[in-house]
Structure formats: structure tokens, C-alpha cells
Amino acid sequence: MAKKKKTVVKRAPTAGELAKWQKQKRRNRLVFIFGVLVIVAVLALIGYGYYDSVYQPDHAEANKLHKTVVKVNDKKFSLEYIIDVMRFLNQQEANKAASSSSNSAVTAKTYTLDEAVQVIEYDELLQQAAPGLGISISEDDLQAKLKSIILPTDAPEDLAEDQFLKYYNAVLKAQNISDKEFRALVTGDLLRPKLQDYLKAQVPKSAEQVHAQGMLVDKSMVTNVADRLVFTVDSLAQVAQETSLQSNSQTSGGDLGWLIKGVVGTKFDDVVFNLEPGVLSQPIDDETGQTTNGVWLVSVLEKASDKALDDSQVTSFATVAYSKWFKQQLQEGLDSKKVVNKLDDSIRTWATEYMAKHPITQTSSS
């Protein structure tokens, strides 16, 4: 017969033992909570250090780079875009200077941020206006231009598309510019001569003209030059050869040829086209940008109310019209607030410091 197991009766803890156990349990809980708080504090300090030294500066830098600085109608351009374009333009100028066949050293033009902004504004204004002017660039023309820029001179004509893309992506990477930015710049380059042709076709076949003789002199020389012309036997041709600051008038003895309105400048036109033959003009402020303190002294030799324009005059008129077109489009956009340019000294300073800290690392495109 199996033995019956004895029932073990556990002794209930005394009041003192129970109080001690509960006190130990509370102490362990407090130690655990304190440990968790210490770990959280350490992680918070590490996280704040990363945020303060890495994330926050990077985030603030990204915000400034992505901030819209230029707007042309509805098209927005960030500071990063402007920096990329400026760097690309400078690299292109450096490449041209390096590949120049001239024996003398060629100094590459250096674009500023403001000049890069002007290129962006002009290109965008032209691309937006092009359909209304009836001018356009086909995708084939764009691809052909891209290949002429990207591919080395010894590249085979039947180069496969994947091989071209290899060259293309390498150049984009080397010059730190995106496909979108590059295509926009090349499209602008292709549209410009089409705009020139369009404006050249608008030039009239004939116009009022004056045959003028004159010179460009410094304001400080005006009295001396005028006295020589009025009180001595020195001819205007002789004085122009000796004193004119403009090379063409100097070498031609002051003969400016037949002039049409709108080529030299508004102030010049207002005086010269109302000047009687043989009369020396009053000093006319130079608007050509060739001097900062120069004035013209001019005499009219002949006048014609409607004289046919020769090819050089048509080209000169179209060139001036081309420059005026961009300036007028930009000014109209600024006046109407459709073109916005927020590039100021603080942004220029920050961008300059950013570019110094983040130079482009050139890589081979081959």
C-alpha cells in the first residue's frame, strides 16, 4: 500500500519579512528606472550632438541651397542651380582657354553669381518667348549639339547610344551639373542665333542716315580738343587720329561712316540726327560702354532721308536689337514682378563660403 505524501504547510511570512521584501522590490524598481533614465540621457546627448554638429548644419545648408532665388514667370531656380550653372560656365571658359591654338596665353573669363543669374534669366526668357516668335529647336538638333560638345574629336561617328551615355554622364558628373541644367543651357545656345536671324529679318531695307565724322575723348580733354578744331588749322581727321579713344574712329581719321538710328545710343542719335552739316556738336555722353568718362564730338558730313542699308549696317542694327531684346524682356519682367531676383549680398557671401568648402572634384570623362 503506497505511502501518503505529507502535506507541507508553508509558513506565512511575518509582517517584518513582508515589509523587507516589499522594500527590496521597490529598491530594485528604482534602480531599474534610474538605469533606463541614464541610458536615455546618454542616447539623448549622443543624438543632440549628432543633430547639433551634423544634421542641423546639413539641414540648414540644404534649405539655403534649395531656396528659390530667381523666378522667371512660373519657373523657379534655386541657389544650388545658380551655383551649378556658374561653375559649369567657368569650366567651359577654362576648357576653351586651355584648348586655344593661340601661342599667347588666353585668360579665361570668370563668371560671377550675378552673371550666371543673367544667363539663366536670358535663357529662360528666350525659351519661353521662342514659340511666339516662331523659332524652336528640334530634339535631333539638340542631340547633335550635345554630342558635339561631349564627345572627343576622335570618337567614331557610329558610336552606340550606350557609349555616348557613358561619356555624357561622366561629363555631367565631372562638371557637377544635371542633365536638366545642361540641356537648358545648350538649348539657349541653339536658340540665340535663331533669335538673331529673326531680328535680322525685321531690319528695314532702308532708313534715315547721316554720314558723320567724330571722335571719343575723355571729358577732361574736351576743351582742348574743341579749341584745336575751332581756332587752329588742325582738321577733325588729324585730331581724331591723335586723341580718339575709339579705335575705329582713330584709324579712320574720325570717319564714322553712314549711321542709322539705334546703333550708337539714344543721346548720340538725338544730337547727331538734328545736327546741321559742318557744325561741331556739343559733347555727347558715351553710351557704348567703351569708356566711363568719355564724350563724343561729332560733325555731320551728309544727310539722307531714306538710304538703303548695306549688309554691315543690317548686321550692326540686328546686333543692337538682339541686345536690346533681352534687356527689354528682363526689364518688363522685373517691372511686372514676373521676374524676381533675390540674389543679395548675404546670399552671395554664403554661396561663396559654401563653394570654398565644397569644391568640385574633377574626374576623367573618358
**Interval 51-90: pLDDT, tens:** 455 444 557 888 999 999 999 998 999 999 999 999 989 9
Question: For the purposes of burial, counting CB atoms within 10 Å of the CB of 54, is it exposed (0-12), middle (13-18) or buried (19 or more)?
Answer: exposed
| Cβ within 8 Å of residue 287, ≥6 positions away | 264, 265, 266, 267, 268
Q: Is CATH 3.60.15.10 the right assignment for the domain spanning 206-308?
A: no
Q: Averaged over 334-347, what is the pLDDT?
A: 94
**Grid cell listed for 337:** 514682378
- How much is the pLDDT for 171? 84
**pTM for the complete prediction?**
0.71
Q: In which band, very low, low, confident or very high, does the pLDDT at 338 lie, cut at 50, 70 and 90?
A: very high
For CA atoms 75, 79, 81, 82, the dihedral sign is positive
Check: CB of residue 299 under 8 Å from CB of residue 210. Answer: no
Q: Return the DSSP state at 52.
A: I
Contacts of 236 (CB under 8 A, 6+ apart): 213, 214, 215, 229, 253, 254, 280, 299
Long-range contacts of 267-271, Cβ-Cβ distance < 8 Å, separation of 24 or more: 268/296, 268/298, 271/298
pLDDT value at residue 81: 92
Asked if 183 contacts 268 with a C-beta cutoff of 8 angstroms, the reply is no
pLDDT digits (tens, 9 = 90+) for 267-310: 999 999 999 998 989 999 988 777 888 999 999 999 999 999 99
Stretch 125-138: mean pLDDT, rounded?
A: 95
Question: 579705335: which residue's cell?
Answer: 247
Cα separation of 84 and 305, whole Å?
51
Residue 304, φ and ψ in degrees, nearest 5: -145, 125
Contact 277, 301 (CB under 8 A): yes
The residue extents of the domains of the chain are: 20-66, 80-98+108-202+319-355, 206-308
pLDDT of residue 29: 76
Distance of alpha carbon 263 from alpha carbon 71, whole angstroms: 31
Q: What CA–CA distance (Å, rounded) separates 225 from 236? A: 9
Place of cell 539663366: 120
Q: How far is CA 132 from CA 65, 222, 336, in A?
A: 33, 48, 19
Which grid coordinates belong to 347? 546670399
pLDDT, residue 202, reads: 92
* Cβ neighbours for 279, distance < 8 A, ≥ 6 positions apart: 299, 300
| Residue 360 DSSP one-character state | -
Q: Does residue 316 surpass a pLDDT of 80?
A: yes
Residue spans of beta strands (DSSP E) within the chain: 68-72, 75-78, 206-218, 255-260, 284-285, 294-308, 339-341
Instruction: State the pLDDT at residue 322.
Output: 93
Phi, psi of 339 (to 5 degrees): -115, 125
CB 326 within 8 A of CB 334: no
The pLDDT, as a whole number, for residue 228 is 87
Residues 185-230: tens digit of each pLDDT: 999 999 999 999 999 999 999 999 999 999 999 998 888 888 888 7
Residue 322, all three cell numbers? 538682339
State the number of CA atoms in the 13 A half-sphere of 205 facing the CB.
0
Q: Is 128 helix (H, G, I), strand (E, B) or coil?
A: helix
Range from 93-107, 116-130, 242-256 that averages highest in pLDDT: 116-130
